[in-house]
Structure 1
Amino acid sequence: MICLSLFFSFSAEISVFVQTGASVQLDIQTQELPEFDDLYWKNYKSENIVRYTNESKKEKLHSSYKDRVDFNNKTFSLTLKNMQKTDSGLYTAIATAESDNNIVTYRVSVIDAVEAPVLTVNSNWFSGNFCTVNFTCRAHELMIDSSYQNNRCSKEEVTSQINTLILDCSEESIICNHSNPVSWKEDQISTTQLCFNKEKNSMSVQTDSSLLGSVVGLMAACILICLSVFLYCRCKKGAQEEVVEDSSVYAQVKVEAQTQEEVGGNGPNTVYCTVGQHQRPTTPPKPSAITSDDT
């Protein structure tokens, strides 16, 4: 059973709000009842929910309420269970004797629990110890636009039928509260996170930027070093290939010279040997013709 809000009017009706699915207890308001033969609790359909006979001290429940009501035969209160919106209406206690007396009448309204409000920050600005936050508190058809300045804001309230939206602030938080007679829900935002941590976040961003710049510079230096090493190795490799090539030519010339020495015997052991020595003709030259003057 939930705690109910009661609203008295100038008539005999007592307004009661109950949340959907909950129970409600309807009490006899007078301390002493007049003498009666029977006591009835009637609903808005004029159905007798329960009939209590004073002489027999017994009660009789309506067939449609047998599993949904409890009747106290000492206090004559009536408890209705698992209330639905279709159960909204008037409930009256009547004592009968020589005439009927309306003891008490309740106007029961079955309503749903409120939906949770939403607190949205539109913008915030922080400088030194001064913080400004523009925000919106919204729930269903209700809305409040306000600002949090210099650690405070003005308390505001708007209503629509039975729903109420309240905005309030403290040094630590902004509070948006949505309520009706049977329930309430709220949303909060920490002003510490919005204001004082903003400067820290800014410093953190600057630190991260400096760190990122250092990392980028280090990576660039590494790339330049790697490129220099690569070029150096490439140049050194080219030089080594030239030396090897020259060595190969020299070795080839040396081998050819040794081969020529082995073939030619005592020929000179020089590069010239690889080309070949000058060969004298083997046939002696023919004697020149004797002229008449010689004879």
Structure 2
Amino acid sequence: MVLVIQLILLLSVLVSVTVCSDVFKLVNSSVKLVMQKKVEKFYDIGWIFNTENNIVRYNGNPPSKVFGSYKDKVEFNEETYSLTLKNVQKNDSGIYEAKAIDEQTVTVATYQLYVLDLVEKPVLSDSLQQSNDTCNVTLTCEAQKLSVTSHCYNNNCDLRKKKTSGDMFLSLSLHVSNSFIICNHSNPLSWKNTIMEMKHVKQLCPDKGDENGSGLNMADTKTVLLLTGISTIIIIIFFIIICCQRKRRTKVNCQNKKNDASSDVFNMVYEEIEPMNKGGNKAQSENHAAADSVYCTVGMAAQACSKDASTVSTANPGSKNQRAERNCESVDQTIFVTVNKARKPVYKA
């Protein structure tokens, strides 16, 4: 029975010594280490680095004693017995222990300190290898001497996440999805990533089944846009020329019609012949002649046509008009003759 109790006490001591807490801190930061067990009485208490380097000692009577190079680097609390490390660097990583000495030495705190740098932003790149029947794109993620790759064959990419580690905390991973490619570099205190869109890979390696050429690269796209713009400008100029020609043609036709109308006006001769009554006298009233009129058109030459009143008669307008037409066969212009008549007007052509 006594042996069992001794074994239990020994295991409890070993467990208290081996169990420690992990602490992660960035370079140039500070960390505070506190007591993990309650300290009731002691003759001496102190902190030790990596089991052999004394940092501070305190026997209950101030001031506490700080050793060597730790004088300007640590602060010891004489009431709580905590230890604060300032401006830690990577070489400060290690095991920190607090020991209380009474009838026996007891470890009252144990810490594993990891001092880490901020991670760097990873570099994500692609390389194309194309042959007659295949198109292969290799994706590479790199950071701090770490590298991870993934491959795409004919626009089909490996969608699995790949990861590699430089040590127990630093890691680099490459995740490929249908929309994005993510290269992530991380440690327990920081992480950074680089993202690439999947459409960039599809442009490098277009789908063979795409008959519409959706995999055109940026240079081809710019060429198509340039040709489209030039074609549009040419079409606009062409329509402007056609509109100007139609406008000019319409203006010429209107001018020709106007000239023809003016020529017809100048080729018209109006002549008024006053009718004679039975006694051979003129009409009694000009108002009477203006009221009722007879128009006779003679198509003979003006030089051969007589304007004598004997060629037109009101008694027998039909026969007189026929003789007037025979006398004026050579007339090229149109002559309008007005014959005044006392009664109903008669029109002859």
Report the equivalent of 1:243: none
Query: Structure 1 pair 92/9, CA: closer, same or farther in 2 (3 Å)?
Result: closer
Letter in 2 for 1:42: I
- Find the counterpart in structure 2 of residue 229 from structure 1: none
Show the counterpart of 1:208. Answer: 226
Q: Distance in 2 between matches of 1:74 and 1:179?
A: 39
Task: Return closer, same or farther for 1:53/1:188 CA change in 2, 3 Å cut-off.
Answer: same
Q: In the alignment, what sits opposite 2:275?
A: none
Relative to structure 1, is the Cα distance of residues 9 and 98 closer, same or farther in structure 2, using a 3 angstrom cutoff?
closer
Distance across 1 between alignment mates of 2:217 and 2:57: 72
Instruction: List aligned pairs for 1:62-73, cutoff 5 A.
Output: 62=67, 64-73=69-78
Matched, 1:146 2:150: yes
Q: Distance between the aligned counterparts of 1:200 and 1:64, measured in 2?
A: 62
2:83 to 78, 82, 94: 78
Taking structure 2 as the reference length, the TM-score comes to 0.47
* CA shift digits 1:237-266 (9 cap, x unpaired): xxxxxxxxxxxxxxxxxxxxxxxxxxxxxx
For each residue in 1:119-152, what CA deviation from the matched residue of structure 2 results, as whole angstroms up to 9, or x when unmatched? 1122499xxxxxx964111223322221466798
Give matches, 1:1-295, under 5 Å: 11-30=18-37, 32-44=38-50, 46-54=52-60, 56=61, 58-62=63-67, 64-123=69-128, 134-147=138-151, 153-162=159-168, 163-170=170-177, 172-191=179-198, 195=202, 201=218, 202-211=220-229
Percent sequence identity is 35
After TM superposition, the score normalised by the length of structure 1 is: 0.54
Partner letter of residue 137 of structure 1?
C
Q: Secondary structure of the equivalent of 1:138?
A: strand
Give the conservation status (yes or no) of the 8 Å contact 2:127–2:138.
yes
Aligned pairs, number: 203
User: Deviation at 1:213?
Assistant: 7.8
Deviation at 1:89, TM superposition (A): 3.0
State the shift of 1:94 in Å. 0.6
Greater RCO, 1 or 2 (C-alpha within 8 Å, sep 6+): 1
Distance 1:99 1:9, change over 3 A: closer
SS of the equivalent of 2:196 reads strand
**Matches of 1:175 and 1:110 in 2, distance apart?**
27
Distance 2:64 2:215 in 1: 69
Judge conservation of contact 1:18–1:108 (CA < 8 Å) in 2. yes
Aligned 8 A contact 2:17 2:107 in 1:
no
Match of 1:5 in 2: none
The one-letter code matched in structure 1 to 2:193 is: E
Larger Rg: 2
SS of the residue aligned with 1:50?
Answer: strand
**Paired residues of 1:69 and 1:80 also in contact (CA < 8 A):** yes
| Distance across 1 between alignment mates of 2:93 and 2:198 | 43
User: Counterpart of 1:166 in 2: which secondary structure?
Assistant: strand
Q: CA RMSD in A?
A: 4.0
For the 8 Å contact 1:123–1:135, the answer to whether it is kept is: no
Q: Distance in 2 between matches of 1:195 and 1:124?
A: 14
Pairwise CA distance, 1:164 = 0.9
| Shift of residue 156, structure 1, vs aligned partner | 1.6
Counterpart Cα distance in 2 of 1:20 and 1:33 = 31
Q: Unaligned regions of 5+ residues in structure 2, if any?
A: 1-14, 131-135, 204-213, 235-349
- Is the partner of 2:139 in helix, strand or coil? strand
Give the C-alpha shift of residue 40 in structure 1: 0.6
